[in-house]
């Protein structure tokens, strides 16, 4: 049966972790996958999460199925975190939030929904975007096109190019937007630029699909969600937000994500939710309970929520410090041109390293980065910073 099955290449991001794990060099560093590591090089288990986990274990509850659309306390808390507790949209019942298998699950379920309900399925992606965006939407039957985004000369956003490309899209096109901490570039829009983008989306009748995987990793929980409020204020009555707690709760393997669909009326939101449930039932039936229970437990307890916000703040401040540290170490190596790394936001930096330079980092130093030159700044620590800076300076000389 399988004699004609071709071997396909490994995943460009998760495949790196496999190669890293197999590497026996003691000095190896994984700057590939987007994971936040603490100063000891470990994935942190947040104290707020740990406390909920202990009380869940003590309660020894039975393990029934969750509803198809997930744990109600989780979806409600998620909606409030994304849109703000007092958002008129929530009061009007216009946001249908569903628990999904990570942010990727939200993207795929959202793509399946749009494929069903939109007259034509074209997705416009920033150039570049997260490697898996194209794959997820293509697999759901979308035609994928690019819009200009990154300016390699300034290491920031080519905003004029972006607006010009958005203007050219056919009405009804879905536009994937990174709410904050753009993956892979770390180059974000300003609030002013978001407002202009929202105007174009509205005028051209484009459908915003917002990917929000790093809320709280740049400026703060509300600040990093500013784009959502701007779309609402611009009068865009329907859009999608795919969100994830992998990073903000350090719960990568628990696959805690959510799909939030904003509709023009509560009635439409209900109809959309029924479609989403049907889609999920035919893929994985219902989501798993543990991760969602942890997140809901933290977000619904004022005390634990405060603790989590503090832990999240510490993670984001440490990333800012690591960026500054890398810039300083590279400057010591005679490479002040890497100063742009401090201007970028979130876990990633598009370092400007070429594929050949990334290959040298891996082969000669055991430092793993994505072939596009993306590095995960959140995997640095005081123990590897100097080593990484020396290696980057050497391969890019």
Q: How far apart are CA 74 and CA 257, in angstroms?
A: 10
CB of 81 to ligand LMR, least distance (A): 19
Residue 91 to residues 25, 94, 167, 392, Cα–Cα distance (Å)? 55, 8, 33, 51
Query: Helix H segments across the chain?
Result: 14-22, 47-59, 72-83, 88-91, 102-117, 131-139, 159-168, 191-203, 221-224, 226-233, 266-281, 290-299, 302-332, 355-365, 385-395
Instruction: Pull the structure tokens for residue 36.
Output: 């936040």
Q: Which of 20, 30, 31, 33 binds ligand LMR (CB under 6 A)?
A: 33
HSE-CB at 66 with a 13 A cutoff on CA atoms is 25
Report the residue number whose CB is nearest to ligand LMR.
34
Bridge partners (DSSP) listed for residue 95: 262
CB of 33 to ligand LMR, least distance (A): 4
The smaller minimum CB distance to ligand LMR, of residues 230 and 370, is found at 370
CB of 370 to ligand LMR, least distance (A): 8
The smaller minimum CB distance to ligand LMR, of residues 13 and 225, is found at 13
Q: How far apart are CA 208 and CA 127, in angstroms?
A: 16
Site membership for ligand LMR, residue 365 (CB under 6 A): no
Site membership for ligand LMR, residue 156 (CB under 6 A): no
- The residue from 69, 218, 247, 277 that is catalytic is 247
The smaller minimum CB distance to ligand LMR, of residues 33 and 46, is found at 33
Site membership for ligand LMR, residue 130 (CB under 6 A): yes
- The residue from 165, 188, 211, 218 that is catalytic is 211
The smaller minimum CB distance to ligand LMR, of residues 35 and 394, is found at 35
Of 157-196, which residues contact ligand LMR (CB under 6 A)?
Answer: 183
CB of 337 to ligand LMR, least distance (A): 25
Q: Is 247 considered catalytic here?
A: yes
Q: Is 130 considered catalytic here?
A: yes
What kind and span of H or E run contains 29? strand 29-30
Q: Which of 30, 34, 225, 338 binds ligand LMR (CB under 6 A)?
A: 34
Q: Is 237 considered catalytic here?
A: no
Q: How far apart are CA 344 and CA 257, in angstroms?
A: 25
The smaller minimum CB distance to ligand LMR, of residues 132 and 250, is found at 132
- 3-class SS at 134? helix
Instruction: Pull the structure tokens for residue 201.
Output: 């989306």
Give the DSSP letter string of 183-206.
TTT-----HHHHHHHHHHHHHTT-
Of 8-27, which residues contact ligand LMR (CB under 6 A)?
Answer: 13
CB of 278 to ligand LMR, least distance (A): 26
Q: Which residues are catalytic?
A: 130, 211, 247
Q: Which residues bind ligand LMR (CB under 6 A)?
A: 13, 33-34, 130, 132, 183
């Amino acid at each position: 049966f399988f004699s004609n099955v071709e071997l396909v290449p490994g995943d460009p991001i998760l495949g790196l972790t496999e190669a890293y794990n197999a590497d026996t060099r003691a000095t190896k560093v994984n700057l590939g996958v987007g994971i936040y590591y603490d100063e000891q090089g470990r994935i942190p288990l947040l104290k707020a999460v740990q406390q909920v986990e202990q009380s869940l274990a003590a309660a020894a509850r039975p393990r029934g199925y969750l509803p198809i659309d997930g744990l109600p306390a989780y979806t409600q808390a998620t909606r409030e975190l994304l849109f703000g507790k007092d958002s008129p949209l929530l009061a009007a019942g216009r946001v249908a939030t569903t628990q999904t298998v990570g942010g990727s699950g939200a993207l795929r379920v959202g793509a399946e929904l749009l494929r069903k309900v939109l007259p034509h399925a074209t997705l416009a992606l920033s150039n570049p975007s997260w490697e898996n965006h194209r794959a997820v939407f293509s697999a759901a039957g979308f035609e994928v096109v690019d819009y200009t985004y990154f300016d390699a000369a300034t290491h920031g956003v080519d905003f004029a190019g972006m607006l010009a490309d958005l203007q050219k899209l056919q009405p009804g096109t879905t536009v994937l937007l990174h709410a904050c901490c753009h993956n892979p570039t770390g180059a974000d829009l300003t609030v002013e630029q978001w407002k202009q983008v929202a105007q174009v989306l509205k005028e051209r009748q484009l459908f915003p699909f917002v990917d929000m995987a790093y809320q709280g990793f740049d400026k703060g929980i509300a600040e990093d969600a500013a784009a959502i409020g701007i779309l609402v204020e611009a009068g865009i009555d329907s859009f999608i937000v795919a969100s994830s707690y992998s990073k903000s709760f350090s719960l990568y393997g628990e696959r805690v994500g959510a799909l939030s669909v904003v509709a023009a009326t509560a009635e439409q939101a209900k109809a959309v939710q029924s479609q989403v449930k049907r889609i999920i039932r035919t893929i994985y039936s219902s989501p798993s309970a543990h991760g969602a229970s942890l997140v809901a437990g933290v977000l619904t307890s004022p005390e634990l929520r405060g603790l989590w916000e503090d832990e999240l703040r510490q993670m984001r401040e440490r990333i800012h410090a690591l960026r500054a540290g890398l810039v300083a170490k590279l400057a010591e190596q005679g490479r002040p041109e890497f100063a742009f790394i401090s201007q970028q936001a979130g876990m990633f930096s598009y370092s400007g390293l070429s594929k050949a330079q990334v290959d040298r980092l891996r082969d000669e130093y055991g430092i793993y980065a994505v072939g596009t030159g993306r590095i995960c700044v959140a995997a640095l620590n005081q123990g590897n910073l100097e080593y990484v800076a020396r290696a980057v300076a050497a391969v890019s000389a």
